[in-house]
């Protein structure tokens, strides 16, 4: 099963370009289990400024890594591709929504 992640991330915060490709980005860290992080590879990531708004950025998840100071929090590397301007179809937790498809 593939997982899509919808994350609350104020525009421009905790999201940075990485590597030589202009479309490769990495998020800040989010509370996600290792199992969900693995299922998310190949899925989509959507960054939202607010729960009720469409995502302002997103793409296909390529990899994840645990935060050095807290292994329960993960950052995700993704390639920007469209379409990503959608609203989350599921119920939100505090800072994320996990959508299984």
Where along the chain do its domains lie? 3-100
Split the chain (101 residues) into runs of 10 and give each run's mean pLDDT.
Answer: 92 80 92 97 96 95 97 96 92 94 88
For residue 57, how many other CB atoms are within 10 A of its CB?
A: 20
Give strand pairing partners of 48.
Answer: 8
Predicted TM-score (pTM) of this structure: 0.92
Contact call for residues 7 and 48 (beta carbons, < 8 A): yes
Query: What is the structure's pLDDT at 20?
Result: 83
85: Cβ–Cβ under 8 A, 6 or more apart, which residues?
54, 55, 56
Query: What is the structure's pLDDT at 12?
Result: 66
Query: What is the structure's pLDDT at 67?
Result: 96
């Amino acid at each position: 099963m593939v997982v899509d992640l919808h994350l609350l991330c104020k525009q421009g915060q905790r999201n940075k370009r990485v590597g030589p490709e202009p479309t490769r980005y990495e998020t800040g860290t989010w509370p996600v289990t290792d199992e969900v992080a693995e299922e998310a590879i190949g899925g989509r990531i959507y960054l939202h400024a607010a729960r009720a708004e469409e995502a302002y950025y997103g793409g296909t998840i390529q990899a994840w890594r645990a935060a050095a100071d807290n292994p329960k929090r993960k950052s995700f590397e993704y390639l920007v591709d469209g379409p990503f301007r959608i609203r989350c179809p599921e119920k939100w937790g505090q800072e994320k929504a996990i959508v299984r498809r």
